[in-house]
Chain A
Amino acid sequence: MSNIGFLQSKKMKFWFKKLLWRHLVGIAVAIFALFPLVWMISAAFDVTGQISTQQLIPMHRGLSNFTDLFSNSEKPFFIWVRNSMVVAISAAVLQTLIGATAAYSLSRHRFKGRKLTLTTILIVQMFPQLLATTSLFLIINSFGLTFSGLGLGHQLPLILIFGGGALGVNTWMLKGFFDTIPSEIDEAAKIDGAGHFVIFTKIIVPLAIPVFIVIFLLSFIGILNEYLITSVILGLDGKSMTVAVGLQQFIYGQYGKNWGPFTAGALLATIPVLTLFLFLQKYLVSGLVSGSTKG
């Protein structure tokens, strides 16, 4: 009996000395980390929709912010969602495809200009596209003078612009992964008569599916988060905006008026991304960290 008590108190002492402060730090940082999310959730369900009276646990809870958001015909939330999905999915597919094919040839083939290509990609990577936003705007504007479907306000040029940024973003990381796939596997396939396309689609791609998922998701999230180029190319017209741009236009300078419906929209847009991220955190985190090591 006394023996157990002794053990317990020793355990407690250890806990106090070694672990208590860690928990205190952890709780403080957790509050900081969750702070905006918690208030976003609480505001979304607060039927008064007021920023100035908002409480952590709202007095009057309900879904009126959501219904307000959905019924606002000048701020078509679902059209924004659709625009975001069209742009982000097609651009992320394009980016993954371009990154994968480029990385395959850079990892598996030796050719003249290979080093030059790799160095160019590395240098280009340092200068993100958004530095040249003004030029992109003027270029897409002149596209539009010749082909109206490729001009400002259209999604296709925006998707192609993100496609143009693909090599600088994903190639090094994918090449690093392809390099770890033993080349004996494709040698063997080659002896069996497989061509380069078969090797790529039947051997490399299946082995790299997890990496593709990571690249696709990181591209997808990155594009959803892009504000500058997206707003400049698509413009600030109600129907052409994405969720990010639309919600910004919705709330900016009107916190008093639109806080409730805005947080409702923000919450709806956050949930899928947050869920995806936390479920796949192991892969995504390693992707984030290793992606930047290469750069």
Chain B
Amino acid sequence: MRQKFMFVVTYAFGLVLLGMAGKFVENKSWFLGFFFVISSGLIIYVYAISKKIPGKYLVPGLLLLVLFHIYPAFYSGVVAFTNDSNGHQLSKTQAIDAIITDSKIPVQGLAPIKYSTAQATDTKEIYLIFQFPENVFWAGNSDSLVPLNVADVNLTNTGEITKATGFRVLTSAETVEASSDLQNIVIELKDGIWLTPSDLNYLEASKQSFRYSTQRDELIEISTGTTYHPNDNGQMVGSSGELLYPGWKVNVGWRNFTSVVRDEEIRRPLAAVLAWTLFNAILIVVIGFLFGLILALTFNSPHLRSKRIYRMIFIVPLAIPSVLSVLVWSGLFATNIGVIDRLLHIHTPWLTNSFWARIAVLIVELWITFPYMFLISTGAIQAIPNEIIEAAEIDGATALKSFSQIKLPLVLRTVAPLLVASLAMALNNFGVIYLLTGGGPIFPNSNGNAGATDILISYTYKLAFNSQEGNNYGLASALSILNFALIALISIYGLRRMKTMEGVN
């Protein structure tokens, strides 16, 4: 019974996924369509057909992992080679359609076109009935345009249409009721003329000012005959360089990567950002670890009875949601009015001077990091067998010697993998940077407003979502790739040293 139930549920779910795949394909999201077809098949196979057990426990997690972790990483690689950005997100056909639709101008010198609202007697759809030009009658809405026979239409001498065969003309009260639908109706006539209701009685005629020639792949401005041709950045451009908006998404090859080197407004800030990313990460791991280690040594005394209370206080920074604590810190650092400046009677430009902003970042990062470093150092120290230390003391080692020659190397060996992991985390410490300083103070003349405390990931975020030059997803993805490479280098180096891979076997 339960198995039958599982069977039904599995097939139903599989079919839902298949249906979703169909929708994605309809909208030309090829990968998502493909992925959902595969998922649907896999789920039906694993839960309803195969007798193998492991798949039943792994497949849901693996599917989500592929869709939301691995695929995005590779998709960055795809986007990095396009000009995907604000104004370059459509396909070429969509962009050209958008240019033509947006270029509508009112047609001058036409007699006013009166219309009546009517409902098709069979489909109950709303139509507008009108004559254009004189004595040619139409019933139309956004989707269709039907010619009407003159004989079928009853026209009053005020120019009002009161009856049409196949339609029921609405009363004025009904028309008012339907007015919100009427606003959205756009009737397209054959010769590039659009009709839209301007009020409840009259239609307004407008026509497109551009025409697209498929054969010559150019847009022609109808009134002047000026032509616009596509350029290699996915935009229609006139002979004297004027651009038509929107553009479309094209492949730009390595341009995003080369602009990192060539474009002065990206290169200079990026070099500074990269340097600070590395420097900041290394510095905070080193300082944080030393701080934690010294603290651990200090509180590793068997005579200290209040150890547990101290420990409880020291881990408080771990227990406050860091988003909130960092925001509180940023308030405390406020220049002149903030608590820190007032307590110390100083006027430090914490968030407006590059040097002091970096110091502020380091202080807050230290505050967040040291409890963890304290905990792992304490663990590592306690794991050192007492005999070793005692033996050294008997041999006459001073406290300093027994620390530097025996304790430190042993501790380092235990915590080294954790420090490499912390380094990788510190490279992407978006929250602290973005919430404390916003990456600022901003460098002058930098694309995407890079600042003195920006790290690679916060600069990427600014380029992608927060840029005054318009969000540039292509360039941001190229920087993400750079970040991936950076982390891969550090991780490979770390793994080589640590041989964590042994755990796999």
- State the A residues within 8 Å of B (CB): 14, 18-19, 21-23, 25-26, 29-30, 32-37, 39-40, 43, 51-52, 54, 98-99, 101-102, 104-106, 109, 111, 114-115, 117-119, 122, 124, 126-139, 142-143, 145-147, 160-161, 163-168, 171-172, 196, 200, 221, 224-225, 227-228, 232, 244, 247-248, 251-252, 255-256, 259, 262-263, 266, 269-270, 273-274, 277-278, 281, 285, 288-289, 292-295
Contact of A131 among B24, B372, B375, B483 (CB under 8 A): B483
On whether the beta carbons of A285 and B315 are closer than 8 Å, the reply is: yes
User: How far is it, in angstroms, between the C-alpha of A40 and the C-alpha of B375 when the chains are bound?
Assistant: 25
Contacts A133-B464, A251-B327 given; does A101 touch B61 at CB 8 Å: yes
Q: Are B327 and A248 in contact (CB under 8 A)?
A: yes
Q: Is B460 an interface residue (CB 8 A)?
A: yes
| Chain A residues whose C-beta falls within 8 Å of the C-beta of B324 in the assembled complex | 40, 244, 247, 266, 269-270
Q: How far is the CA of A118 from the CA of B178 in the complex (A)?
A: 61
> Which A residues are in CB contact (< 8 Å) with B64?
98, 160, 163-164, 166-167
How far is B400's CA from A120's CA once the two chains are assembled, in angstroms?
Answer: 44
C-alpha gap A224/B323 in the complex (Å): 9
B contact residues around A119 at 8 Å (CB): 501, 504
Q: Check B79–A135 contact: CB distance below 8 A.
A: yes
Report the 5 A-B pairs with minimum CB-CB distance, sorted nearest first.
A164-B68, A277-B319, A52-B337, A132-B72, A105-B57
Whether B328 lies near A30 (C-beta < 8 A) is no
Segment of B100-108, B274-282, B427-435 engaged in the interface with chain A: B427-435
Nearest chain-B residue to A117 (Cβ)? Answer: B58
When distances are taken between beta carbons in the complex, the residues of chain B under 8 Å from A43 are 331
Contact B503 A294 (CB under 8 A): yes
Task: Give the interface segment out of B123-131, B354-362, B484-492.
Answer: B484-492
Contact with B84, one of A14, A40, A138, A285 (Cβ below 8 angstroms)? A138
Q: Tell me if B397 counts as interface (CB < 8 A to partner A).
A: no
Measured CB to CB, the residues of B under 8 A from A are 20, 23-24, 26-27, 29, 32, 52-58, 60-62, 64-73, 75-76, 79, 84, 295, 298-299, 301, 303-304, 306, 310, 312-325, 327-332, 334, 336-339, 367, 370-372, 375-376, 379, 417-418, 421-422, 424, 428, 430-431, 434-435, 438, 457, 460-461, 464-465, 473, 476-477, 480, 483-484, 487-488, 491, 500-501, 503-505
Query: Which residue on chain B has the smallest CB distance to residue A164?
Result: B68
Q: Is the interface of B mostly helix, strand, loop or mixed?
A: helix
Q: Which residue of A lies closest to B291 (CB)?
A: A29
A36-B313 contact in complex given A52-B337, A288-B318, C-beta closer than 8 Å: no
Q: A147-B20, A289-B418 are in contact. List 16 more A-B contacts (CB 8 A).
A: A19-B301, A25-B295, A25-B298, A33-B317, A34-B313, A36-B320, A51-B331, A101-B58, A124-B65, A133-B480, A135-B480, A138-B79, A146-B24, A167-B62, A247-B324, A273-B320
What total count of A-B pairs have CB within 8 Å? 294
For A129, give its contact among B27, B72, B303 (CB under 8 Å). Answer: B72
B491's nearest neighbour on chain A, judged by CB, is: A126
A223 to B343 Cα, complex, angstroms: 35
CB distance from B449 to the nearest CB of A (A): 14
What are some 12 contacts across the A-B interface (CB < 8 A)? A18-B303, A105-B54, A119-B504, A131-B73, A137-B465, A139-B72, A166-B64, A167-B65, A168-B69, A285-B315, A289-B379, A292-B421
Rounded to whole Å, the gap between the CB of B65 and the closest CB of chain A is 5
Provided the pairs A25-B298, A51-B338, A118-B504 are in contact, do residues A224 and B318 lie with their beta carbons within 8 angstroms?
Answer: no
- Checking A19, A104, A252 against B303 with a beta-carbon cut-off of 8 angstroms, the contacting residue is A19
Which chain B residues lie closer than 8 Å to A161 at the CB level? 68
**Minimum distance in angstroms from A79 CB to a CB of chain B:** 17
